[in-house]
Amino acid sequence: MASSEPDEKLDTLRRLSEEIIPEGEFLERARRAREEGRPLRVKYGMDPTAPDIHLGNAIALHKLGLLQEMGHLPVIIIGDYTAMVGDPSGANRTRPMLSAEEVERNAATYLAQVGRILDLSRAEIRRNGEWFARMSFGEVIRLASRTTLARLIERDDFTLRLEKEAPIGLHELLYPLMQGYDSIMVKADVELGGTDQKFNLLFAREMQRAEGQEPQVVITHPMLEGLDGRRKMSKSIGNVIGITDEPNVMFGRAMSLPDSLVEKYLRLTTDLPEERIAELCDPARTHPREAKEALARAIVTRYHSAEAAGAAAEEFRRVFSERRTPRDLPVVRVAAGELSEGGVWIVRLVGLAGFAESNSEARRLVRQGGVSLDGRKIRDEHARVELEGGEVLRVGRRRFARIEIA
């Protein structure tokens, strides 16, 4: 990426990145690759531990798209084997191992969603089961012999867990080796990942060097806090904005972000130019609420359209500024068999609407006063409600559904 590469693309890459390690080597390798008439092979691994991609995952995908525009080749690793191990980065406990069936179910939607960001016809898609499924136990032993326990437990999360006397599964120690072996197998020139992956990414450089390969350049991006403003965006926590969320849902979730995160989201999750971001982040020129609305519009525009963003903004104002019910409500069909004497259990109704993933979550929402039926708050988690059809269920500030008796 010498002077012939558009400066604005390099600037955008830097904006989306925490570190380029080492940046000089990246520029030199891009120059050499161009002279040789080949693209850089840019690796990004995705473990399908959940079925959907959220804005945090999408940061790396948009960087891949940018590098693809520069003429380089995205090499996407679907980690069907590493997902069964589970990378412990940022975790303080052993992660549950996923079954092959769970991994396949999650992976089924990944590429369709990735295709909303990248041109998959100009990308290489690999599964690391291609090489790990063929390994004998002897080969696993040889792979494990490439490092030491002392080297692996240098990872911050392992060190923290040892200090707390929390268990570390032996299989977890294999994860950095597996990720590094992926880089060897696809001959990665560059690998992308979050700052929580830095140890693994740098460890892969060591493995490639030992294999006689030129070590990959590492490009990290900041971790994106979720809607709670504290923890990393995570599907398991539920603090996410998904890239396939409906426009109104996406807009509403963006508007619920803490003000302190607006600038970070503007830089990492939108296409807005730097000058516009500077204007939105200057309280002397832009009110914080206007900045947040501009952020929400930009996110919806990126994944849907400008028209959808405008309609979502209008609907948000109508519902939350004018305190009115949304125009187009999703319908929840309640089977007649659910209507036992005394009505439907409110926790069951919240679950039927898809507004809670478990009864315990629905109970919590009810106890916190977040559930109402036709404007009447229901705080008793044991309550049963009579239904005739046509009632409006509301959970939280932004989720509505109209009840229909099937």
What digits encode the pLDDT tens for the residues 375-398? 788 989 998 888 877 788 888 877
If asked whether residues 343 and 391 sit together in one domain, one would say yes
If asked whether residues 298 and 397 sit together in one domain, one would say no
Residues 29 and 216: their CA atoms lie apart, in Å, by 10
If asked whether residues 257 and 291 sit together in one domain, one would say yes
For 325, other C-beta atoms within 10 Å of its C-beta total 13
Q: How many domains does the chain have?
A: 3
Burial of 323: CB neighbours in 10 Å, binned 0-12, 13-18, 19+:
exposed
Could you tell me the two tokens for 114? 């990735």
Q: Which domain holds residue 272?
A: 247-321
pLDDT score, position 235: 74
* Residue 268 pLDDT grade (very low, low, confident, very high; cuts 50, 70, 90): very high
Q: Is residue 86 part of a domain?
A: yes
**Amino acid identity, residue 354?**
G
Q: Is the pLDDT of residue 320 over 80?
A: no
If asked whether residues 253 and 203 sit together in one domain, one would say no
* Residue 321 pLDDT grade (very low, low, confident, very high; cuts 50, 70, 90): low
If asked whether residues 207 and 273 sit together in one domain, one would say no
The Cα angle at residue 322 between residues 318 and 323, in degrees rounded to 5: 100
If asked whether residues 201 and 280 sit together in one domain, one would say no
Torsion of Cα atoms, 353 then 359 then 360 then 361, to 10°? -10
Looking at every residue in the chain, the average pLDDT score rounds to 86
pLDDT score, position 324: 58
If asked whether residues 336 and 189 sit together in one domain, one would say no
Q: Is residue 235 part of a domain?
A: no
If asked whether residues 309 and 172 sit together in one domain, one would say no
* Residue 282 pLDDT grade (very low, low, confident, very high; cuts 50, 70, 90): very high
If asked whether residues 315 and 335 sit together in one domain, one would say no
100, containing H or E segment: helix 100-114
Final residue belonging to a domain, choices 262, 296, 321:
321
If asked whether residues 159 and 123 sit together in one domain, one would say yes
If asked whether residues 159 and 286 sit together in one domain, one would say no
Q: Between 139 and 96, whose confidence is greater?
A: 139
Q: What percent of the chain has a predicted confidence (pLDDT) above 70?
A: 91
Q: Which of 173, 165, 158, 21 lies closest to 82, judged by CA?
A: 173
pLDDT score, position 3: 40
pLDDT score, position 322: 55
Q: What mean pLDDT do residues 130-149 have?
A: 92
